[in-house]
Amino acid sequence: MAKLFRTIKCPSEDLSLTNCVLVNDGDFNGVKHIQVTPSGHSHFVFTVLAHPTVPPGKLAFNAAQRKWAGIVLNSDVKVQQFQFNAKTQCIGSVVLEIEPLQKKSSTPPQSLDSDKLATEFLMTFGGHSLSVEQPVVFGYDSKLYSLLVKEVEVLDFTYAKGQQVSGKPKLANIGLLTPNSGVIFEKAENSNLNLTGKAKGKSSYQSIINPDWDFNKMGIGGLDKEFTAIFRRAFASRVFPPEIVEQLGMKHVRGILLFGPPGTGKTLMARQIGKMLNAREPKIVNGPQILDKYVGESEANIRKLFAEAEEEEKRCGVNSGLHIIIFDEIDAICKSRGSVAGNTAVHDTVVNQLLAKLDGVEQLNNILVIGMTNRKDMIDEALLRPGRLEVQMEIGLPDEFGRLQILTIHTETMKKHEKLDADVDLSELATLTKNFSGAEIEGLVRAAQSTAMNRLIKASSTVEVDPDAMEKLRIRRTDFMHALQHDVKPAFGSSKEELETFLSNGIINWGEPVKHVLEDGELIVGQTRSSDRTPLVTMLLEGPPASGKTALAAKISKLSDFPFVKLCSPENMIGYHEAAKCQAIKKIFDDAYKSPLSCIVIDDIERLLDYVPIGPRFSNLVLQALLVLLKKAPPPGRKLLVIGTTSRKDVLNDFEMLNVFSTVVHVSNISSSEHLLTVLEHSEVFSKDEVDVIKKKTQGRRLFIGIKKLLVLIEMARQTDIGERASKFICILEDEGALEYA
């Protein structure tokens, strides 16, 4: 319903710079915009500002507004409330013509940074109505400028689909300026201004986030899913205009925690998040830099990081730009309160200060804190609740597709300059680099490059480079293979070298007992790989000493071809006290949980438990740790196979450990002449006649010997003369007590 109001002059110059129509609060309580009809059918939309100096029934206009709308002082105008549609009338970009308000021909040319102008304009006039041909008086850097709205492009958010939120732009006569609007400046004709920066001339609209961001251009591979999840949780709300967010009663996410193994791209991702946002330059801080030796300085360092955002929030409110603070190694300053020894409790007060800034009494809505750590367990749990670092994203080891992306990124320059040989297959390298982190793949490429460059260096008394190196240099497949074999090993990869030592003599399939164990192993591996009901599968190989249990466990784990295969052996923990041994075992399991498919071989369990029959003595601390870990299911989406070996099944039964394993398989010693002869034929040490002699002397006699011991005795017999080998071998078997008369 339109009402008549009398027009008056703006009370002061400062109020005229607001470019708002001043009203009495009693006339327009809670109204933000009005439509004024001075005469005829012309309508003009203004943003209103209540001020106590304006009498009821009066509207105060500045000179620019009166000139634009043809308003005569002390005349009556028709006025009614105007409501913007937040879905279809928010400005995507606006083109402004700028010139000094006071034009002086003798004034030297003036240079203005259009980016800073755009930032200040958004903070000053965010939430204002802008119409084509509307004049605006703008105060910047203690000077006044005259702006003219040349073009308005609004976004139609009714076209938004799914997660890829984006507005469809279209030209309009009027729109609502939002903090995410693009502002483009053009200097007026005959103006002596020089505009620098990106916000000059016509360009396409850019929201606070570009949903079609190219991950490859960011230099990050294998993290597409993580980026999509972060976008959905942390940034989608910032794409929409503040009015829509207010209608939902929604608060923006203020904190993100990126955690995972070293080298997986946490720091790189945080930096790229800062670049992909239309925000202030990110502040990147290493956790230890916050700490200070003086009392209170550490807390002051936290406050300084947020000071600029606080000042802008008070000055501009919802129109404030986004301030990003990145904490690298955040676990250094945010340890669980009470966990750090000492009287000063500096860590506790630093955590308290950060909690207050993130979600204290005076909440900031214009900040985004990104923390990174590979020790999430050390961080105070109060920081991880919603409202603080509520988006917690695990940045894990890349899968095969992710590794291919990373390899493509790091070899792109070589391809461009034709330095990558045609025999290099990136898909093959992606398959071979199981459990490599992004940093390790980058190191692999560097190592291959070094190997290729080394071919063109002549190292004699002096180091000389081939003069044709520029043309000859090519990185070949052999360079990558050399780097894989000798230079770069994954920190979370398999213990191939250790397992290969147990398979140096291979697996001799001397009979049904060995075949039975391998078949059971194959069945267990298949169950781990394909079954969704049993993410944790455990298998115990038990049998007499030297029966080949460790070699069979190594063979099964190798045949599984799981990305993560780790050996937990007592020989790697010599000298460890009980607590250190528990931590070492737990770390192996924690590392295994980070891979989708993992296998752990726990060798010689009774030795790990420090068991001795005299006493008896054992480590109850290690026993309890193993019992817990062997029952603990891996995280969702992860599968774990544990293969244990023991020579004391009776002891594990007394420890109530036998029932923890889902399958117990017996590994037999060689106990028949036929099995013995199979091993002898495989060893190729004895001639056919000697094998016949051994067969005659072992038939009908009791035989009991482990394959490991047998191979050692065969090697001893190899050292004797050819004619005496058979008799010497029989004597050795009898001396060892492995061959007796029935």
Q: pLDDT tens, 254-299?
A: 888 888 878 888 877 777 776 666 667 788 888 777 776 666 787 8
The answer to whether the peptide bond before residue 262 is cis (omega within 30 degrees of 0) is no
CATH number at residue 363: 3.40.50.300
Residues 320 and 244 in one domain: yes
Question: CA-CA distance, 644 to 568, in Å (whole number)?
Answer: 9
Residues 533 and 661 in one domain: yes
Residues 539 and 657 in one domain: yes
Q: Known catalytic residue: 603?
A: yes
Res 469: pLDDT: 64
Residues 381 and 519 in one domain: no
Q: Of the candidates 666, 685, 717, which is a domain's last residue?
A: 666
Q: Of the candidates 428, 461, 487, which is a domain's last residue?
A: 487
Residues 276 and 410 in one domain: no
More confident site: 313 or 513: 513
More confident site: 476 or 341: 476
Res 348: pLDDT: 76
**Residue 206 belongs to some domain of the structure:** no
For the stretch 518-577, pLDDT in tens is 999 999 999 999 988 999 999 999 999 989 999 999 999 988 888 888 999 999 898 899
Question: What does the pLDDT average to over 650-656?
Answer: 91
Question: What does the pLDDT average to over 633-637?
Answer: 89
Give start and end residues of each alpha helix (H) in 25-150: 63-69, 114-125
Question: CA-CA distance, 450 to 447, in Å (whole number)?
Answer: 5
Question: CA-CA distance, 52 to 418, in Å (whole number)?
Answer: 73
Question: What does the pLDDT average to over 208-233?
Answer: 65
Kindly give, in sequence order, each residue whose CB lies less than 8 Å from that of residue 712, ignoring residues fewer than 6 positions away: none
Question: What does the pLDDT average to over 182-203?
Answer: 74
Residues 657 and 681 in one domain: no
Question: What does pTM read for this prediction?
Answer: 0.63
Question: What does the pLDDT average to over 439-465?
Answer: 80
Residues 507 and 588 in one domain: yes
Q: Which is catalytic among the residues 472, 631, 632, 696?
A: 631
Confidence of residue 446 (pLDDT cuts 50, 70, 90): very high
Q: Which is catalytic among the residues 124, 264, 550, 646?
A: 550
Residues 406 and 388 in one domain: no
Range of the domain at 103: 90-196
**Residue 32 belongs to some domain of the structure:** yes
Q: Which is catalytic among the residues 78, 283, 419, 708?
A: 708
Tally of structural domains, the chain: 6
Residue 372: which H helix or E strand, with range? strand 367-373
Res 461: pLDDT: 60
Res 162: pLDDT: 47
**Residue 201 belongs to some domain of the structure:** no
Res 202: pLDDT: 46
Res 460: pLDDT: 59
Res 49: pLDDT: 92
Ranges of beta strands (E only) in 529-611 are 536-542, 564-568, 597-602
Question: What does the pLDDT average to over 416-421?
Answer: 86
Q: Decide if pLDDT at 736 tops 90.
A: no
Ranges of beta strands (E only) in 455-606 are 457-459, 463-465, 536-542, 564-568, 597-602
Q: Known catalytic residue: 413?
A: no
Residue 225: which H helix or E strand, with range? helix 224-230
* Alpha-carbon dihedral angle through residues 299, 304, 307, 308, given to the nearest 10 degrees: -160
Q: Which is catalytic among the residues 266, 604, 639, 645?
A: 604
**Residue 124 belongs to some domain of the structure:** yes
Q: Known catalytic residue: 78?
A: no
Sign of the Cα torsion 525, 531, 536, 542 reads negative
Q: Decide if pLDDT at 695 tops 50.
A: yes
**Residue 453 belongs to some domain of the structure:** yes
3-class DSSP assignment, residue 88: coil
CATH number at residue 185: 3.10.330.10
Q: Which is catalytic among the residues 603, 645, 698, 709?
A: 603
Residues 191 and 146 in one domain: yes
Question: What does the pLDDT average to over 657-675?
Answer: 91
Q: Known catalytic residue: 639?
A: no
Q: Give the single-character DSSP code of 141.
A: T
CATH number at residue 441: 1.10.8.60
**Residue 20 belongs to some domain of the structure:** yes
Q: Write the single-letter amino acid at 339.
A: S
Beta strand 457-459 with 463-465 is antiparallel
**Residue 614 belongs to some domain of the structure:** yes
Lowest mean pLDDT among 119-123, 214-218, 552-556: 214-218
Res 105: pLDDT: 58
Q: Of the candidates 50, 81, 112, which is a domain's last residue?
A: 81
3-class DSSP assignment, residue 610: coil
The string of DSSP letters for 59-95 reads: EEE-HHHHHHHTPPTT-EEEEEE----TTT-EEEEEE
Most confident region among 299-313, 378-392, 432-446, 534-548 by mean pLDDT: 534-548
Q: Quick one: tokens of 508?
A: 């001799």
Confidence of residue 197 (pLDDT cuts 50, 70, 90): confident
Q: Which is catalytic among the residues 335, 549, 581, 639?
A: 549
Q: Known catalytic residue: 549?
A: yes
**Residue 204 belongs to some domain of the structure:** no
Q: Decide if pLDDT at 585 tops 90.
A: yes
Residues 319 and 290 in one domain: yes
Question: CA-CA distance, 168 to 177, in Å (whole number)?
Answer: 16
Q: Give the closest residue to 563 by CA, choosing from 666, 640, 669.
A: 640
Q: Give the closest residue to 328 by CA, choosing from 282, 390, 380.
A: 282
Q: What is the mean pLDDT of the chain?
A: 83
Q: Decide if pLDDT at 630 tops 80.
A: yes
Lowest mean pLDDT among 21-35, 301-315, 341-355, 601-615: 341-355
Q: Quick one: tokens of 108?
A: 């030297």
Confidence of residue 319 (pLDDT cuts 50, 70, 90): low
Residues 544 and 655 in one domain: yes
Residues 170 and 126 in one domain: yes
